């Protein structure tokens, strides 16, 4: 899971998603769920981890949507009570990630291919 993620609820949600990918494609886990209309087995081939201690190998250019990212972050008033001062860490993180691949801002992920 995300060793860099400090929120326990985020870690728990991430672990739950990782735990769910394999059973999602196995018909004997909960076959009754396949009886509903428009249902099929899941097909997960790749998982992307954010804020992990594993070396990232995917960098997404987020410069074109950065104003929206900042606005969405600032709308999270309970998490960012000091406004733009509270999100300077995010800008620095995204700038540093971008510098690695020659972009203004980037988000980085570790890709894990699963069977």
Per DSSP, the residues of 17-71 read HHHHHTGGG-TTSSGGGGGSTT-------EEEEES-SSPP-EEEE-GGGHHHHHH
Give residue 63's domain range.
Answer: 49-109
Same-domain pairing of 59 and 94: yes
Q: How many CB atoms lie within 10 A of CB 111?
A: 12
Tokens of 29: 């886990």
* pTM for this predicted structure: 0.75
Q: How confident is the model at residue 110 (pLDDT cuts 50, 70, 90)?
A: very high
Which pLDDT value is given to residue 77?
Answer: 84
Q: Which has more pLDDT, 52 or 56?
A: 56
Same-domain pairing of 37 and 12: yes
Which pLDDT value is given to residue 31?
Answer: 79
- Give the least confident one: 1-5, 61-65, 68-72: 1-5
pLDDT at 67 over 90: yes
Residue 60 lies inside a defined structural domain of this protein: yes
Residue 8 lies inside a defined structural domain of this protein: yes
């Amino acid at each position: 899971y995300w060793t860099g993620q400090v929120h326990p609820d985020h870690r728990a949600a991430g672990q739950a998603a990782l735990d769910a990918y394999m059973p999602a494609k196995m018909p004997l886990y909960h076959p009754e769920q396949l009886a509903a209309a428009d249902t099929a087995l899941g097909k997960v081939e790749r998982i992307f981890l954010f804020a992990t201690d594993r070396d990232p190998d995917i960098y997404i250019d987020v410069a074109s949507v950065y104003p929206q990212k900042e606005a969405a972050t600032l709308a999270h008033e309970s998490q960012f009570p000091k406004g733009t001062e509270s999100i300077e860490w995010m800008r620095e993180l995204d700038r540093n990630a971008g510098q690695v691949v020659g972009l203004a801002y980037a988000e980085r992920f570790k890709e894990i291919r699963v069977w």
